[in-house]
């Protein structure tokens, strides 16, 4: 039964067949009502929820929510499917706008649950990566000055987790790290932003040299890069640093002058 249902769900996803999805879910639910562990793997409820999200989250919202409720009612084991159910819940609480901070908070809590579970065992490191990608998609609208404080802590947790699992995709870690640094800076946590900048530049130097110029350009514009970070770097990157650092100082000077004029 399990293998048949899995194949039906896979077919539904591959063909974007919502009718087959619903039909298969009814079979899963029917077996689930029997309450027999031998007749059904609880994991199928999660796989079904994931399939429904892939096909059409909005259309299948109620189905997804019900499937996850059934899954928890069956008292599942603490395995990867439990963490994958957290990601499904995160999808359900996706904010439609930056005004829905309550949804973002719930979504973030499920992201953090997934990360905490995934980083405990190397077999589940992929869950940390999946959680980081999902949170990035959900958090991007909040990466503006008036709402940055809602995502900065979770972004930090994502960066720390990606660093801990030492995922080979260093470009992704660097990208999230830079966003985290920007969020710290905009949230007026300059000391922390400066510290994280040093780590990001070191990562770019050793693992992503093709992105080093871009990283220096972006972070030096905030005045976060120091001259010590420029050791042994090409002249073109040093010029970028010096130019942006000067612009940053002039901008701060102009702001200070405007403040004095107002006073």
Domain boundaries, the chain: 1-76
SS3 129: helix
* Cut 0.95: pTM above it: no
Look at residues 27, 29, 67 and name the one whose alpha carbon lies nearest to residue 46.
Answer: 67
Q: Residue 250: its pLDDT value, please?
A: 77
Sign of the torsion angle spanned by Cα atoms 127, 133, 137, 139:
positive
Q: Six-digit token pair at 149? A: 């404080």
Q: Residue 229: its pLDDT value, please?
A: 85
Q: Residue 254: its pLDDT value, please?
A: 56
Q: Residue 258: its pLDDT value, please?
A: 52
127-153 per-residue burial string, b: 16 or more CB within 10 A, e: under 16:
bbbbbbebbbebbeebbeeebbebbbe
Q: Residue 145: its pLDDT value, please?
A: 75
Q: Residue 263: its pLDDT value, please?
A: 42
Q: Residue 45: its pLDDT value, please?
A: 96
How far apart (Å, rounded) are the C-alpha atoms in residues 246 and 224? Answer: 12
Q: Which ranges constitute the DSSP H helices of 143-211?
A: 152-165, 170-186, 190-207
- Quick one: CA torsion of 188, 190, 195, 199, rounded to 10 degrees? 70
From first to last of its 263 residues, the chain has per-residue pLDDT tens of 789 999 999 999 999 999 999 999 999 988 766 655 456 789 999 999 999 999 999 999 999 999 999 999 988 989 999 999 999 999 999 999 999 999 999 999 999 999 999 999 999 999 999 999 999 998 889 988 788 999 999 999 999 999 999 989 999 999 999 999 999 999 999 999 999 999 999 999 999 999 999 999 999 999 999 988 888 888 999 999 999 888 877 776 554 455 455 44
Contact 83, 127 (CB under 8 A): yes
Q: How far is CA 263 from CA 124, 249, 256, 259, 260, in A?
A: 57, 21, 11, 6, 5
| Residues comprising the chain, all counted | 263
Place of tokens 């958090």: 139
């Amino acid at each position: 039964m399990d293998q048949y249902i899995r194949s039906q769900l896979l077919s539904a996803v591959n063909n974007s067949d919502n009718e087959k999805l619903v039909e298969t879910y009814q079979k899963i639910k029917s077996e689930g009502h029997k309450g027999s562990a031998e007749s059904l793997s609880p994991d199928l409820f999660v796989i079904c929820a994931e399939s429904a999200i892939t096909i059409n989250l909005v259309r299948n919202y109620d189905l997804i929510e019900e499937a996850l409720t059934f899954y928890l009612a069956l008292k599942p084991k603490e395995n990867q499917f439990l963490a994958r159910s957290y990601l499904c819940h995160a999808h359900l609480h996706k904010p439609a706008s930056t005004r829905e901070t309550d949804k973002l908070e719930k979504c973030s809590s499920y992201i953090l649950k997934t990360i905490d579970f995934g980083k405990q065992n190397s077999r589940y490191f992929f869950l940390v990566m999946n959680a980081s990608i999902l949170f990035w998609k959900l958090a991007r609208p909040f990466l503006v000055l008036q709402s940055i404080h809602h995502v900065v802590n979770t972004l930090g947790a994502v960066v720390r987790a990606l660093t801990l699992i030492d995922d080979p995709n260093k470009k992704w870690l660097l990208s999230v790290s830079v966003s985290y640094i920007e969020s710290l800076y905009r949230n007026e946590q300059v000391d922390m932003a400066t510290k994280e900048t040093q780590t990001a530049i070191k990562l770019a130097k050793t693992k992503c040299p093709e992105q080093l110029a871009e990283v220096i350009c972006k972070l030096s514009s905030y005045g976060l890069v120091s001259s010590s970070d420029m050791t042994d770097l090409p002249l073109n990157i040093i010029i970028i640093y010096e130019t942006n650092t000067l612009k940053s100082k002039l901008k701060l000077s102009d702001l200070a002058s405007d403040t004095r004029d107002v006073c």
